[in-house]
Amino acid sequence: MLYDSTKCIGCKACMGACNAANELELDTEASGGLWHTPLDLNEHAKNIIKLYQDESTGEHAYVKRQCMHCLDPACATACMLGAYAKREHGIVTYEPDYCIGCRYCEMACPFGVPKFEWSKLAPKMVKCELCKHRIAEGKGPACCEVCPVGAVIFGQREDLLAEAHKRLEDDPERYVPKVYGEHEAGGTQVLYLAGVEFEKLGLPAYGDEPVPGTVRTVQHAIYQGFVAPVALYVGLAAAMLRNRFANEADREEHQ
């Protein structure tokens, strides 16, 4: 998915389409029961359009937020039973049957995407799964299909990346010279173009390292093939046996 903030007109048609396609209830809390106005991604919003506005300079831009579908997702590294995994088309999907609701994915995701159904007694996690049910039917994600100005388009990552770089080349005045998601946090399958700095849009300046890199390095160093824990266990038991025999011998000597 490629989102071009400079094309987005903030009509929020994608938000309604997302809720309809994913059978999500509407979040009407902020509007006093009138219409769907989530303030952030939440249990009723897998997709949201936000406005960035600097009143002193008049600078403003829209930004669409949803799951970034990381190439190396932190949520899938966190999840105990693999409820999250990268499956067909690289979509980061969620299977509630293997989710105990620990919310470690929320702690792990660098983009704050997975949300928990706080209001429910049998809660699940809620996050964009790129309309996998629609893709299975040969359709595209609802947000991409409904967008009236083509601000968000669906396709293969390499094609979208080429398209993004072409836009940057064709109209360098219009854009911040970067495709967000090409390298950030190890690369994401959702790519962004914008006319204002990405950090102002809530897309932090992450390095090129995948988020799970550090923990994998550390855990591999300690638990490679489970050799160290087993060796430690044998060592501990051996030390204890040796101590026991030493103490026994010591006792007998003095009896």
Partner 1 sequence: MSAHAPAHPRPKRWWTPTKEAAQYAPPVPLGGPYFGWPLLVLLALAALGGALIVWRFAAGLGATTALNDGYPWGLWIAFDVVTGTALACGGYAIAILCYVLNRGKYHPLVRPAILTSAFGYSIAALFVMLDVGRPWLIWKVPLFFWHWNRHSVLLEVALCIMGYAIVSWIEISPAFFERMMHSKRPTIRAVGERGLSLVQGFLLWIVALGVLLPMMHQSSLGSLLLLSGPRLDPLWNTPLLPLLFLISCVGMGFGATVLESVLSSWLLEHEPKRPMLSSLGRAMVPVVGVYLAIRIGDLVRRDQLGALFALDGASILSLVELALFVLGAGLLVTERQRADLGNLFRAAIVLLVAGALYRFDVFLVAFRPGSHWHYFPSVTEILITVGLVAAEIAGYVLLIRFFPILSAGRHAAPAR
- Note the residues at the interface with partner 1 (CB under 8 A): 40-42, 74, 76-82, 96-104, 106-108, 110, 112, 115-124, 185, 202, 204, 206, 211-212, 214-219, 222-223, 229, 232-233, 236-237, 239-241, 243-244, 246-248, 250-251, 254
Cβ atoms of 144 and 137 within 8 Å: the answer is: no
Alpha helices in 92-226 (DSSP H): 104-108, 132-136, 142-146, 157-170, 213-223
Cβ atoms of 48 and 121 within 8 Å: the answer is: no
Task: Name, in order, each residue with C-beta under 8 angstroms of 106's C-beta and a sequence gap of 6 or more.
Answer: 112, 114, 115, 116, 125
Instruction: Give me the least distance between CB of 202 and partner 1, in Å please.
Output: 8
**C-beta closer to partner 1: residue 156 or 243:** 243
Instruction: Give me the least distance between CB of 28 and partner 1, in Å please.
Output: 17
Instruction: Give me the least distance between CB of 77 and partner 1, in Å please.
Output: 5
**C-beta closer to partner 1: residue 20 or 218:** 218
What is the gyration radius of the CA atoms in the chain, in angstroms? Answer: 25
42, β-bridge pairs: 45
Instruction: Give me the least distance between CB of 178 and partner 1, in Å please.
Output: 18
Instruction: Give me the least distance between CB of 233 and partner 1, in Å please.
Output: 5
**C-beta closer to partner 1: residue 91 or 147:** 91
**C-beta closer to partner 1: residue 12 or 44:** 44
Instruction: Give me the least distance between CB of 168 and partner 1, in Å please.
Output: 25
Task: Name, in order, each residue with C-beta under 8 angstroms of 215's C-beta and a sequence gap of 6 or more.
Answer: 77
Sign of CA dihedral 193, 197, 202, 207: positive
Instruction: Give the whole-angstrom CA distance, residue 143 versus residue 43.
Output: 17
**C-beta closer to partner 1: residue 52 or 116:** 116
**C-beta closer to partner 1: residue 162 or 215:** 215
Q: Is 181 helix (H, G, I), strand (E, B) or coil?
A: coil
Instruction: Give the whole-angstrom CA distance, residue 152 versus residue 158.
Output: 16
